[in-house]
Amino acid sequence: MTGDLDRYDYLDGNAAAGPLSEIFAIDVLSARGRCAACGRTDAMATARLLPHSHGLLLRCPGCSAILLRLVDTGHSVCLDLHGLSFLELRRQQNGSQPNPPQPT
């Protein structure tokens, strides 16, 4: 899909909160991300989620490129972030850091 996303029914990025909260300990939708295709930088909550896609796809509201793709196969979750050139995760106001990775 290329072109103007306004031609399609969509939800805002907040509609992805449930599935993303299952794999991220922090609120990814409050993070700022930069689209690798057009360079737009904005909160991930401003991304557009097309509800009838295969998997969960968040698209850039500027150019419609896929920013994030999440596919749950039932036994694993695949996360593709190739559409983001960066994702800025902010620390909490009290200075604490996002949850560190846990040893496996």
- C-beta of residue 100 within 8 angstroms of C-beta of residue 44: no
CB of 10 to Zn ion, least distance (A): 15
Binders of Zn ion in range 48-77 (CB under 5 A): 60, 62-63, 65
Query: Burial level of 25, CB count in 10 A (0-12/13-18/19+)?
Result: exposed
CB of 42 to Zn ion, least distance (A): 9
Query: Burial level of 28, CB count in 10 A (0-12/13-18/19+)?
Result: buried
Task: Write the interaction track for Zn ion spanning residues 82-101; mark x where CB under 5 A is met and - where it is not.
Answer: --------------------
Which residues of this protein are in contact with Zn ion, per CB under 5 A? Answer: 35, 37-38, 40, 60, 62-63, 65
